[in-house]
C-alpha cells in the first residue's frame, strides 16, 4: 500500500525535478543533441519515418491495440456498474478508466494549444518550417503543429495508472505494471524520435503529465479509504 502523504511528497519532488530539467533542456537546446544524432544516423534524413516497424507496427498497430484495450476496459467497467456484478473493486475500474482517458485527452488538448512542430517539419532537418521556441508561443503559431507534448508515448505512460489500480491488493503486479508501462512509453517515444516525430523532451513531458494525472485521480478518488491507496 502507498501512504497518501508520502505519495504527494514524492510527486512534489518529481515535479520540481521535472520543471528544473525541462527549463534547463529548453534553455540550453539540449533536446537537439539526440535529434541531431538520430538524423545523422539516418543519413541526414528521417529514413525510418515510413519504415514498416516504426510506422505500421509501433505506431499504427500499437495505436489500434490500445484502442481495443480501452474499449475492453470500458466494457468491464460498465458491466461492473450493474448491482449483480458490482464488487469492492468497482471504483478502482472507474478511476483507472478516468485516469487513462484524461491522460489521452489532456495530451491531445495540449498538442493543439501549443502548436509545436515536429522535427521532420523543421528546416534544421529538411523540413520547411523555422523552429519556434515554446517560450515564443503566440496566436499566429496556434495549432500549426501537434508535436508537443508527445501523443504516441502516452499509450505507454498513461497505463502507469495500473500501479495505483493494483498497489493495494497486488503490489508485486502493480510494480510490474508500472515498469512495463514506462518501458512501453519509452519504446514508443524512441520509435517516434527515430521517425522524426518528436524530441525526447516531448516524451519526458508526456510521462510527467500522465503520472501526475494518475496520482491525483487515485488520490482524490480514494480519499475516503483511510490513509492508504
Residue 85, CB-side half-sphere exposure with 13 Å CA sphere: 10
pTM > 0.75:
yes
Q: What is the mean pLDDT of residues 157-165?
A: 97
Nearest to 210 by CA among 170, 168, 153: 153
Q: What is the mean pLDDT of residues 24-36?
A: 95
Q: How far apart are CA 224 and CA 218, in angstroms?
A: 11
Query: What 3-state class would DSSP assign to 80?
Result: coil
Predicted confidence (pLDDT) at residue 139 exceeds the cutoff of 70:
no
Nearest to 60 by CA among 193, 152, 150, 147: 152
Q: How would residue 225 be classed by pLDDT, with cut points 50, 70 and 90?
A: low
30 is written with which cell numbers?
Answer: 539540449
Q: How would residue 141 be classed by pLDDT, with cut points 50, 70 and 90?
A: very low
The better pLDDT of the pair 149, 137 is held by: 149
Instruction: Give the dihedral sign, CA 29/23/215/106.
Output: negative
| Residue 182 contacts residue 204 (beta carbons within 8 Å) | no
Q: What is the mean pLDDT of residues 43-50?
A: 96
Instruction: Give the dihedral sign, CA 194/198/199/202.
Output: negative
For the chain, counts of helices (H) and of strands (E):
8, 0
Q: How far apart are CA 204 and CA 170, in angstroms?
A: 28
Q: How would residue 22 be classed by pLDDT, with cut points 50, 70 and 90?
A: very high
The better pLDDT of the pair 135, 95 is held by: 95
Q: Can you give the residue ranges of every domain in the chain?
A: 4-28+52-221
Backbone angles phi, psi at 122, to 5 degrees: -85, 150
pLDDT in tens, 74-129: 999 999 888 777 776 889 999 999 999 999 999 999 999 998 999 999 999 999 99
40 is written with which cell numbers?
Answer: 545523422
Instruction: Identify the pLDDT of residue 136.
Output: 76
Instruction: Identify the pLDDT of residue 227.
Output: 47
Q: How far apart are CA 101 and CA 93, in angstroms?
A: 12
Amino acid at each position: 500500500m502507498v501512504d497518501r502523504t508520502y505519495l504527494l511528497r514524492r510527486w512534489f519532488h518529481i515535479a520540481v525535478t521535472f520543471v528544473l530539467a525541462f527549463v534547463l533542456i529548453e534553455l540550453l537546446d539540449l533536446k537537439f543533441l539526440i535529434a541531431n544524432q538520430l538524423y545523422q544516423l539516418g543519413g541526414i534524413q528521417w529514413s525510418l519515418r515510413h519504415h514498416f516497424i516504426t510506422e505500421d507496427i509501433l505506431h499504427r498497430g500499437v495505436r489500434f491495440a490500445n484502442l481495443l484495450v480501452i474499449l475492453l476496459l470500458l466494457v468491464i467497467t460498465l458491466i461492473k456498474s450493474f448491482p449483480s456484478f458490482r464488487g469492492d473493486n468497482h471504483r478502482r475500474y472507474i478511476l483507472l478508466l478516468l485516469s487513462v482517458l484524461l491522460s489521452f485527452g489532456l495530451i491531445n488538448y495540449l498538442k493543439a494549444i501549443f502548436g509545436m512542430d515536429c522535427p521532420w517539419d523543421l528546416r534544421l532537418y529538411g523540413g520547411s518550417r523555422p523552429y519556434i521556441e515554446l517560450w515564443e508561443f503566440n496566436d499566429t503559431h496556434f495549432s500549426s503543429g501537434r508535436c508537443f507534448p508527445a501523443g504516441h508515448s502516452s499509450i505507454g505512460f498513461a497505463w502507469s495508472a495500473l500501479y495505483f489500480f493494483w498497489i493495494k491488493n497486488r503490489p508485486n503486479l502493480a510494480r510490474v505494471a508500472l515498469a512495463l508501462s514506462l518501458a512501453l512509453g519509452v519504446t514508443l517515444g524512441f520509435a517516434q524520435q527515430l521517425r522524426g516525430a518528436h524530441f525526447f523532451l516531448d516524451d519526458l513531458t508526456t510521462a510527467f503529465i500522465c503520472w501526475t494525472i494518475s496520482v491525483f485521480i487515485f488520490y482524490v478518488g480514494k480519499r475516503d479509504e483511510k490513509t492508504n491507496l
